[in-house]
Amino acid sequence: MIPILESLFAHCVELGASDVHLSVDEPPRFRVQGQLAPRPEFAPFDARTVDEIAMELGLYTLPLGCPDGTELVRKTLVRDGAIDGAVTAPDGQRYRFNLFRQQDRTSVALRRLDAVFRSLPELGLPPRIADFCRERDGLVIVTGPTGSGKSTTLATLIDGINATRECFIVTIEDPIEFEHASRRALVNQRQVGRDARSFNDALVEAMRQDPDVILVGEIRDVETVRTALRAAETGHLVFTTLHAGDCPGAVERIISVFPADEQNSVRRQLAMVLRGIVAQHLMVSVDGSRRHAVAEVLVNTTGVANLIATGRTAQIASAIETGGNVGMRSLEESLAELLFAGAISERDAFLLTRNPETLQRRLYGDDGE
């Protein structure tokens, strides 16, 4: 690994940064507790330096021993405009990266991944989520905006299964972010673009490999969603992520990728196979020193399944609010808990909530005082 890249990785760990951004004629910028800023110890990088770093990283997306690797990376970057991958630094720290072109120049975005698997309480997430790991089939979705910790949550759930169940786990990712060594479970990890052509192809192939648990890094298109639903329906426990702000939004996102004439049947299928949804966000603490997880949890009870099947997703929020006895948790409950602990600001909480009246009642009671 080239020295400049090792230096960037070392500074990232030293600063506790979550991300590093490299652009031509700019110094490296490190994101610490959500704030992105340059570091005085680095001068601006010229085009040659950024390109050298990008080519070095790009080699990690190719099969071992690939001839003319640097030239292939360069051609792929020019052709596609961007390359995703992951790399392990000399100290064992793992990073996800995206190489991309902008105005005929190369830029690099690096994200530092957790070095160890943390428990759900350590992540600030409700322990009820671990119950999804004990399901034998069905679909579990983790949703939220980019950078909300979805991949970390899924890694924790897969690690929990790996430690407790004798089964076969297949992960399909782009790129592989967290590496799982087989423990009680046998774990195989496939990277899209290197080990498989696409998410859907890998998922179809996985169903022929006798898996018990399948992790699909992201369901991005109608065919992958269709195959994931079929896998969940045929005896596999499927974990995946998508981008939606809350649990009802995740349900609608799944349905909306299908043509209108299929949506009613897909609603019924989703109502049958869904086991739960976790919608999460990360919020900066009052003092700016850390970020706190805020999670909404949907458990697919008979009542919720009926709402999904009949297209009444607008009523799911009320079901979550009143479903605490079966492990459901609303976004407002999670926000109120952090507010009572003095962990986040009231302003930030009301900016995030989609139901300010409910949050107001949780904080101040029905009289609003």
Looking at the domain assignment, is residue 369 inside a domain? no
CATH, residue 125: 3.40.50.300
Dist. CA 24–CA 36, nearest whole Å: 17
Residues 249 and 108 in one domain: no
Looking at the domain assignment, is residue 352 inside a domain? no
Residues whose CB falls within 8 Å of the CB of residue 267, separated by 6 or more in sequence, listed in order: 255, 308, 309, 310, 311
Dist. CA 307–CA 319, nearest whole Å: 9
Strand-pair partners of 248 = none
Tell me, what DSSP letter sits at residue 194?
T
Q: To which residue do tokens 């329906």 refer?
A: 233
Residues 12 and 70 in one domain: yes
Range of the domain at 270: 120-329
Last residue of a domain, one of 294, 311, 329: 329
Tell me, what DSSP letter sits at residue 32?
E
Give the burial class of 333: count Cβ atoms within 10 A of its Cβ; 0-12 exposed, 13-18 middle, 19 or more buried. buried
Last residue of a domain, one of 85, 112, 139: 112
Residues 107 and 178 in one domain: no
Q: Which amino acid is at 279?
A: A
Per-residue pLDDT in tens (0 to 9) along the chain, 369 residues: 899 999 999 999 999 999 999 999 999 999 987 789 998 889 999 999 999 999 999 998 887 777 888 999 999 999 999 998 999 999 989 999 999 999 999 999 999 987 788 899 999 999 889 999 999 999 999 999 888 889 999 999 999 999 999 999 999 998 888 999 999 999 999 988 888 889 999 999 999 999 999 999 988 899 999 999 999 999 999 999 998 989 999 999 999 999 999 999 999 999 999 999 999 999 989 988 788 999 999 999 999 999 999 999 999 999 999 999 999 999 999 999 999 999 999 999 999 998 999 999 999 886 554
Looking at the domain assignment, is residue 360 inside a domain? no
Q: Which amino acid is at 209?
A: Q
Predicted TM-score of the model (pTM):
0.85
Looking at the domain assignment, is residue 159 inside a domain? yes
Residues 104 and 164 in one domain: no
